[in-house]
Amino acid sequence: MKSFRSICIFTLAAVALPHSVAAQNYTFTNIADTAGSFSAFAGVFGGPRLNNSGAVSFIAQLDAGGSGVYRGDGVAIATIADSSGPYFSFFTADINDAGQVAFLAQSDAIGPGIFRGDGVTVNTIILQRDLPFDSSKLLDEGEPVVINNAGVVAFFAIGGGLPNNGIYVGSGGNITPVSNFTHRAFAPTINNLGQVAYTYSPLSSTEQGIRVGNGGTTSFVIDNSGPYNVFFRPDLNDSNVVAVAATNDSGGVSVLRIDGGAVDVVAGPFTTASDVGINNAGDVAFMAQTSTNVYSILTGPDSVANKVIRDGDALFGSTATLLQGLTTIDGPNDAGQIVFRYSLADGRQGVALATPNAMLNGDFNCDGDVDGRDFLKWQRDTSVGNLADWQANYGMGIPLTSAATAAEATSPVPEPGSLILVVCSALLAPLAHRV
């Protein structure tokens, strides 16, 4: 009997639960693509940006020639500014919750400048010619322009050489320096408290790290005196919690969340990681190249359970190709949405919004339904949730799988207890003749 029990348990583990394709737990909305009037979309710091209502800013080239800055929500697209007006080149943009878009552009008449538009009017934040130092420069295509809900814009300016190179804020009129000019500063982000996070490196050492400031004092967040070497562009929520990707001294890139000096390794190490964002709940999203050399957009350490989308996934009737440097992301916003620039195997490019689907309590494996697979996951790790939720919601939901598994998803899933009886009965039948 001991031998039979071992066989029964082994067989149950092998065949008890039907195969299920990994779930897609996001709904994807096409904001804009090259099937319409656009021919290409900007990436890196000119990539799409997202606000808390799901509106997206993006920079695109037009089939008819020229380019512009646009705002879309999956229903309509508004022009913020384009090359039919006084501008002829656009480099980076960001959007706030009011739908205002800040952008860096080149103008025939007034030269480079930073502007803020809402789809009706465009206001000037600062022109390069009005910067208060000699040989100044705004037109650094590798630096972001970011805006908060008060309409305050943070940006990088070259002030004719050190020590005036650094981070500034302004909303029209005078600008205020944020970095203290005892160090190089770049890659800013701004929260709704007016705090600006940026990467820095002192003028006279190899130190590198993250600081936060508001035009008065700056505070230290993290540097490379510990286990990390290089820090990429940070993000900052309204609680002044910083999220950033950093290279490890031991190799690879990790995603960090830093709150008041406490460093939490959210995920990694990965081969690469970038575009780290954080919302006001402390949730993060990022682009990563996993150990299998596949590019994925993730929200945590598990490349399956925390996946938003990855190379090779189906998207808009084709297959997504997520190549770092070509695909850029922003988010999550406070609703958990993430925007990303995509390329498809059929040649289309575009901007997509990923919206998380509502999850069922008890759906421990996040596949869209509550079934025996969730019970097995809970058995392996009871920290995934409350078994009472599984018992209350058993049988609810439909797995968010491909069409090939839709029929399976609608089929009744036997109770784990019933399944054990079925498997064990099947094994007992031939043995009964030997008793």
The whole-angstrom separation of Cα 227 and Cα 250 is: 8
Residues 381-409: what's their mean pLDDT? 64
For residue range 88-123, list pLDDT tens digits in order.
Answer: 999 999 999 999 999 999 988 888 999 999 999 999
Between residues 215 and 194, the one the model is more confident about: 194
Beta strands in 178-225 (DSSP E): 183-190, 196-202, 209-213, 218-223
Edge-first strand order for the sheet with 218-223 is 183-190, 196-202, 209-213, 218-223
Distances (CA, A) of 191 to 172, 242, 389: 18, 10, 37
pLDDT at 263 over 70: yes
Which amino acid, residue 349?
Q
Mean pLDDT of 311-321: 94
Distance, in Å, from the CA atom of 137 to the CA atom of 168, rounded to the nearest integer, reads: 13
| Whether residue 163 has a cis bond before it, omega within 30° of 0 | yes
Type of residue numbered 360: L
Token pair recorded at residue 429? 């039948």
In what helix (H) or strand (E) does residue 392 lie, and over which residues does it extend?
Answer: helix 387-393
Burial group, residue 275, by CB count within 10 angstroms (0-12, 13-18, 19+): buried
What residue spans in the chain does CATH classification 2.130.10.150 cover? 27-356
pLDDT digits (tens, 9 = 90+) for 44-55: 768 999 999 999
Report the pLDDT value the prediction gives residue 147, as an integer from 0 to 100.
98
Indicate the class that CATH gives domain 27-356.
mainly beta
Distance separating the N- and C-terminal Cα atoms of the chain: 12
In the block, tokens 């990022």 appear at 286
* pLDDT digits 0-9 by tens, 159-168: 655 556 789 9
Rounded Cα gap, residues 179 and 163, in angstroms: 10
